[in-house]
Amino acid sequence: MSIASAAPSLSPAELRSVFERNTQDELVGIEIESAALDPRTGRSIPYAGESGIGAYLAFLASQPGVEAVHDYGTLVGVRLPDGGQVSLEHGGAVEYSSPPAPCVADLMDLVHAALRRLAAAADRFGFALVPGRSTRARPSRTSSGCRTPVRRSCAATSRAWAGTACGARGSCP
């Protein structure tokens, strides 16, 4: 077995140049994960059902200029007209990914408006989007199918995991 040679070292001047480059073309963005929770009970919202995360994503996808994102036939997110995205994350979190912005002030204005629209849409379905970690959320039955080869592999070897993370079917496609 051969061992890869060490990567060449950068001189202090070369390293400094990485951080001193012209930044006028650089942009900033943010991702915000939120738990979808019932505001009365604090319980997580399932993917399935007329008030579930799947229905929420379908509603978002029905809006003008919004593009649905499917994985293995399951709606898992949307691309928004401004370049942002909403996606279902592992464990049932709903993630908002902003489009790139030229500065943090512009980004915050854009994100504030987007989160207000997304929260209003969630309210139509009777749940709240709660950013950050929620110790009361339970990720069971949040997705109707596994989304990555790692999860499919894990599900094949762990009956307990497959029964919760892969939804009511208890197996992955």
DSSP string, 65-124: T-EEEEETTEEEEEE-TTS-EEEEPGGG-EEEEPPPBSSHHHHHHHHHHHHHHHHHHHHH
**SS3 state of residue 140:** coil
Q: For the ranges 15-19, 64-68, 164-168, which has the lowest average pLDDT?
A: 164-168
Starting at the edge strand found earlier in the chain, the sheet holding 31-37 runs: 67-71, 74-79, 85-88, 94-97, 31-37, 128-131
Name the β-bridge partners of 79: 67, 85
Q: Is the pLDDT of residue 120 over 60?
A: yes
Q: Is the pLDDT of residue 109 over 70?
A: yes
Which of the four pLDDT bands, split at 50, 70 and 90, describes residue 11? confident
pLDDT in the model for residue 105:
92
**SS3 state of residue 145:** coil
47-98 pLDDT, tens digit each:
999 999 999 999 999 999 999 999 999 999 999 999 999 999 988 899 999 9
The per-residue pLDDT of the chain, averaged, comes to 79
pLDDT in the model for residue 88:
95
What does the chain come to in residues? 173
Q: For the ranges 14-18, 34-38, 167-171, which has the lowest average pLDDT?
A: 167-171
Share of residues in the chain with pLDDT > 70 (%): 68
Question: If you average pLDDT over residues 6-29, what whole number do you get?
Answer: 76
pLDDT in the model for residue 6:
66
